[in-house]
């Protein structure tokens, strides 16, 4: 079954600006997770939804990691800029995020808790610089106990621009598994 025959949502959290890339801080015009989300959208024709918190994060990478750590420790649920309406219309949700403190950024938790994921197929994708998926898949399953969370994948942030073939191969594996 082709994913472009399903109602597909590509929801992602991505941070542009100062990011940790290959051992140094670089300013990115487009966040790494957004690069992958756009590749998925080009292949599946799904709808993109950018998860953003109202407060946002500081410009500096180090300052952002400190805020993210405080949110993680407090199990915070930052308010979102936009809210997804009509989540019941989607069959498949690609869920993208960077690994922050061993899991998803806290705005992604907010997003998942706001939508109905009952019976949805959630396909997590994570960008990182060496920490992999961490506990994110387990955390998604906790937040979305009535969803089917499968086929997760991780991408090195420093290599996202060369990940087009890997994204296409991943989507082909997903489609094969849905047949």
Tens of pLDDT along 14-47? Answer: 999 998 888 889 999 999 999 999 999 999 999 9
pLDDT beyond 90 at 141: yes
pTM of the predicted model as reported, rounded to 2 decimal places: 0.96
Contacts of 162 (CB under 8 A, 6+ apart): none
CATH number at residue 65: 3.40.50.360
- Using an 8 Å Cβ cutoff, are 95 and 66 in contact? no
- In this predicted model, what pLDDT tens digit does every residue of 33-88 receive, in sequence order? 999 999 999 999 999 999 999 998 998 999 999 999 999 999 999 999 999 998 99
pLDDT beyond 80 at 128: yes
Q: Encoding tokens for residue 139?
A: 């955390």
pLDDT beyond 90 at 138: yes
Contacts of 61 (CB under 8 A, 6+ apart): 17, 18, 19, 20, 25
66 phi, psi to nearest 5 deg: -65, -45
- Using an 8 Å Cβ cutoff, are 39 and 163 in contact? yes
Higher pLDDT among residues 130 and 136, named by residue = 136
Q: Cβ–Cβ contacts within 10 Å for residue 55, how many?
A: 12
- In 3D, which of 47, 146, 52, 124 has the Cα closest to residue 90? 47
Q: How many domains does the chain have?
A: 1
**Which structural domain, as residue segments, surrounds residue 94?**
3-178
Mean pLDDT of 104-122: 97
């Amino acid at each position: 079954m082709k994913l472009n025959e399903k109602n597909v949502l590509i929801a992602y959290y991505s941070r542009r600006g100062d990011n940790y890339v290959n051992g140094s801080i670089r300013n990115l015009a487009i966040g790494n997770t957004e690069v992958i989300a756009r590749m998925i959208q080009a292949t599946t024709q799904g709808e993109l939804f950018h998860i953003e918190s109202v407060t946002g994060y500081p410009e500096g990478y180090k300052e952002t990691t400190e805020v993210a750590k405080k949110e993680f420790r407090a199990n915070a649920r930052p308010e979102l800029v936009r809210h997804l309406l009509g989540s019941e219309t989607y069959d498949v949700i690609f869920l993208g995020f960077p690994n922050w403190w061993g899991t998803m950024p806290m705005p992604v938790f907010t997003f998942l808790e706001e939508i109905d994921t009952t019976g949805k197929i959630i396909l997590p994708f994570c960008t990182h610089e060496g920490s992999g998926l961490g506990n994110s898949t387990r955390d998604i399953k906790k937040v979305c106990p009535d969803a089917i969370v499968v086929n997760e994948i991780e991408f090195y942030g420093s290599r996202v621009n060369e990940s087009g073939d890997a994204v296409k191969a991943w989507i082909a594996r997903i489609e094969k598994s849905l047949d």
